[in-house]
Structure 1
Amino acid sequence: MSPPDHRLPPPPPPLSRPAPCPVPEFDPVRPRGARHRLRRAVRRRRRVIAVTLAVLAATLAVAVDREAAPAHPPGGTATGEPQQRTGGPPETKPSPEALVSAPVRIADAAAAGLLEPGDLVDVLAAGPVAPGDPPPEARVVAHRVQVIDVPPAVDHAAGGGDDGALVVLLVPRPAAAELAGAAWGSHLTVTRW
């Protein structure tokens, strides 16, 4: 017997191939409008983001403004007439330098006891009454001013001063001068808003 042949079979005959030909040059294919659609989509997103940020900023500005504003804004005129808006420029708040704290002695201590810091009041002045005379006409000395403090009552028997109670008000400087003048010869009282 003859030994087995471990050789590989011979390769198949070569196939016939066409001759190589060059590939012609051509521009790359770009779909129409794709670049413009992408730009439009980015612009739309920018607009949406810008509008969202503007609304958020406005909301925060309103929220911060509400927190910064006092619960009862101090107002008031020394004349006692309500402030009315005309068609002119917008009304501005008095600057902090224009407001002063004025201690006022109220004739009725019980009425002063009803007040709390933050309340808005009108201060009324009435002259002294002689026995048998009709009651004097009351006038508004300060209109819609803010109560800052109501100090505890002082024992008058120990030499604490006149009857009544002390109330500290936040008023414009001209109203403070008018309050001091009215307190000299009149009895002061308050009406609460």
Structure 2
Amino acid sequence: MPETCGVPQFAPLRVRGGRHRLRRAVRRRRRAMAAGLAMTAAALAASAAGARGPAETDKPQAAAAPQRERQPVEVVSAPVRIADGATVRLLRPGDRVDVIAAPDSPSADGDDEARVVARGARVEKVPRTGEAGADGGALVVLSVPRATAAVLAGAGTTSRLAVTLC
């Protein structure tokens, strides 16, 4: 059996700069990301300023007229009897409808044309199939502004109401 030779003694290897190279690479990547984000923000700001038009961008912001705050329109639920119960059964909650009023009987002044009393009213509730009235009409609950609800109530007493889907 051959004689084994021993491992010679040597100083341990020390690799230098590896840790620093990694930190440098991370720093470079961060700088590139920051520069990219800054360029994107500048491009967005420039495009937003260009979309307003030259007349608006020339004005100083302090000289702009104060805008009035819009008051929210109060929306109420208005039960409405529609003359044709079969039409109401086609409706589903969330549908948008126009409500049309047609006079029951011809008036003396000849004003017997149908008129739209509510535009784009949202359907809240629809009756079940068996809830039709004696005259064949059906009740539907609409979500409308308060003023429109008053007009609907008045029109419902003097006219036959119909709906059209928007």
TMscore range, shorter length: 0.5 to 0.7
1:145 alignment counterpart? 121
Give the match for residue 101 of structure 2: 125
Distance in 1 of aligned mates of 2:75 and 2:122: 11
- The answer for unaligned runs of 5 or more in structure 1 is 1-36, 55-88
Measure how far apart 1:118 and its partner are. 1.0
Count of aligned pairs: 114
Identify the residue that residue 151 of structure 2 maps to in structure 1: 178
CA distance in 2 between partners of 1:151 and 1:51 (Å):
58
Q: Using the alignment, how far apart are the partners of 1:155 and 1:116 within structure 2?
A: 15
CA shift for structure 1 position 44: 2.0
Q: Give the number of the structure whose residues are more often helix, by fraction.
A: 2
In structure 1, C-alpha distance between the alignment counterparts of 2:100 and 2:138, rounded to whole Å: 15
Q: 1:44 to 1:162 in 2, by over 3 A?
A: same
Matches within 5 A, 1:26-175: 41-48=29-36, 94-95=72-73, 98-129=74-105, 136-153=112-129, 163-175=136-148
Bigger radius of gyration: 1
Structure 2 unaligned blocks of 5 or more: 1-24, 42-66
Give TM-score scaled by structure 1 length: 0.48
2:101/2:116 contact within 8 Å kept: yes
Q: What is the one-letter code of the residue matched to 2:31?
A: R
SS in 2 for 1:178: helix
Q: What RMSD over aligned residues (CA atoms) do the two structures have, in Å?
A: 3.6
Q: 8 Å contact 1:153–1:165 — kept in the other structure?
A: no
Q: Report the CA distance shift for 1:38/1:117 in structure 2 as closer, same or farther (over 3 A).
A: closer
When the two structures are superposed, what TM-score results if normalisation uses the length of structure 2? 0.55
